[in-house]
Chains A and B, each alone.
Chain A
Amino acid sequence: MNNEAIEVSNGLKDIKIEMVRRCPMSAVHLKCPINVLKKEYDDSINVKALFEFLKQVKEAECKADLKLFLYSEASADCKLSYIIHYIREHLGMTNRIRFETNGWGVDEKTLKMLFKIGLTKTIIVCYDKDTYKRFGDIQKIVRKDLDLEESRLRVRYTPAEGGITCDTDSNKECPGYAHDTRLSYYDNLEGKVVGIDPNKFFCPRPKGMICIQSNGNVVNCDREWKGKIKFGNIYEDSFETILLNKKKFIDMIFNGKLAPDICAKRCPDGTRVVMGQFTRRER
């Protein structure tokens, strides 16, 4: 693999994978991007193509975490367990495998099984106090029975409308953010690149993340949910080609001092703009 591609590969921290575009709670969370996205494309990722792509990721010795979710609800996808199993047993990848879930499709036995077949970590984000309590109890049992490190199973409470969030481990309450600002990220933007000061650009995603959408598109970021910043498609392009396209994007930001207007003007991760009550921490 080309040295430039290897450099980008080494910088990757997360490869996010949208296996499917469904969530049982999307009917309740009407402003979640998945409601818009699934109208455009309602199929799943082709697992054979995904495994071929991951094989290239392994050959490149990329150590990024494999995060098996985007806006989708991974726990309601019947492919999930086989994908985890295949990554571990057939591809022999040792990368950390993680997903975040609203808990819809998990329970004590399901969590135990997923950990046993190779899941590294999951964060359960509960949208109501009853679910938070339920998973707090399950968390204790699973951690004890599997002798699991605390960090591998986290349970959080985050009301969808924003407000106070908490975590079973820290008991610390902190201000949350309203998920639904995401739908307005694109309002009144022209989709252009604008000048920035790279020293004030705090987002780790240009260097640290790629997202694979269920239609195979590889895009820059999960927050830029329309996927306008695209580096290729796993059905057509190699991992190397995708990395080289990403390299051009990284150069544009950090050498060219230009960023897409959505990153520079809207995203709370980009320039630490205050959105509603919420200010992103510096990372």
Chain B
Amino acid sequence: MDTIAEAIGKIEKLKIETTRRCPLSIKHTKCPVAILNKEFNDSLDVEVLFSFLQKMIDYGCKAQILLYMYNEPSVDCKLSYIIHYIRDHMGITNHVMFDTNGWGLDEQTIRMLFDIGLDRIVITGYTDEEYQRFKNIKEKLFSDESFDRTKKILNVRAVSDEHTQSKMSMVETYSVFKLDERLDYYKAGEGQLCNVNISDFSCVKLDTLLCVSATGEVTMCEYDWKQTVSFGNLYKDSLEDIITNKIKFNDRAYKQSILPDVCTRCVHYYGLRKTNEQ
């Protein structure tokens, strides 16, 4: 039990894919959701989700609850009830947030989501118009005295269509990256485990992240979007079994220097990536 609680205690982010839909997936054909939603077009059962969250909390989980993966949470009609239930019925005080492209958001919707218990929204506008629209909404909302802005965070950033440049509303240009590399992560050796030099491994997600997909699969990381590494399924397995599988997986990674092939291509695995490129 202590081992389970200890592993759960290390988790800082709990990512939950409540559905597999995004209105922009038609345009962003290289986004994993454009592929994933062809395989599975259902949602996560909210009662199963609530039961899972309750057990995590009972084990002392303090992780942030992130209500998105590749899907667009702002177009999930379950979202508001999920946030309300987590706060008012379950009494969960963990930080609750999501990233969004803003498709389903406007001033009144943002206002309502914050009112019912959401802590943070990160909006990525894919056009200048969208970026400007949300900058205006942010200014209006946070200058309105009737809006309770205590501990509420609204980040607005822009990403160009080519995904090569991004900027935050407060900082001009902060990084250069390509979202669509993700589809190429599996080009060779899909699902294989491989030996790595663990000293090159700088990713902290093994310990600090747990992802729940719309199918109920509990996975290692959102970048392993084909879910080649699964610790179990919420519909079939107990939380204890799922966390035990996670502990075994991490032990193998840290003690035997064995990682899934996908990790060696991930942009977030900076050490190995650099080695490979050399």
> Cβ of A109 and Cβ of B45 under 8 Å apart?
yes
Using A110-B43, A113-B81 as known contacts, say yes or no to A82 and B116 having CB atoms under 8 A apart: yes
Q: In the bound complex, how far is the Cα of B104 from the Cα of A48, in angstroms?
A: 19
Asked whether A43 is an interface residue with its Cβ less than 8 Å from the other chain, the reply is yes
**Contact: A85 with B42, CB < 8 Å?**
no
Q: Is A117 an interface residue (CB 8 A)?
A: yes
Nearest CB in chain A to that of B24: its residue? A24
What size tier do the contact residues of chain B reach? 20 to 34
Chain B residues with CB under 8 Å of A46's CB are 108, 111
Residue A74 is within 8 A (CB to CB) of chain B in the complex: yes
Stretch of A100-108, A219-227, A237-245 on the interface side? A100-108
Say yes or no: is A178 at the interface (Cβ < 8 Å to chain B): no
Cross-chain contact B42 with A20 (CB below 8 angstroms): no
Query: Is B42 a contact of A105 with CB atoms below 8 Å?
Result: no
CA distance A222 to B243 in the complex (A): 52
B76 / chain A contacts, CB cutoff of 8 Å: 78, 105, 110
Closest partner residue, chain A, to B110 (CB atom): A44
8 A Cβ contacts from B45-103 to A: 45-46, 73-84, 103
Please give the number of chain A residues whose Cβ is less than 8 angstroms from any Cβ of chain B in the complex.
34
User: Is A24 in contact with B75, judged by CB distance below 8 angstroms?
Assistant: yes
Residues from chain B with a CB closer than 8 A to the CB of A113 are 45-46, 78, 81
B-contact 0/1 string along A115-159, CB 8 Å cutoff: 001000000000000000010000000000000000000000000
Which residues of A approach B to under 8 Å, CB–CB? 20, 22, 24, 42-48, 74-85, 104-110, 112-114, 117, 134
Interface contacts beyond A80-B80, A85-B84, A110-B19: sample of 18 additional A-B pairs, CB < 8 Å, sorted by A:
A22-B103, A24-B103, A42-B106, A44-B106, A48-B115, A76-B75, A77-B109, A78-B74, A78-B75, A78-B104, A78-B109, A81-B78, A81-B81, A83-B80, A108-B42, A109-B44, A113-B46, A134-B41
Q: Which 10 A-B pairs have the closest CB atoms?
A: A81-B81, A82-B80, A80-B77, A78-B79, A44-B108, A109-B43, A24-B23, A76-B75, A107-B42, A43-B106
Residues of B within 8 A of A (CB): 19, 21, 23, 41-46, 73-84, 103-104, 106-109, 111-113, 115-116, 133
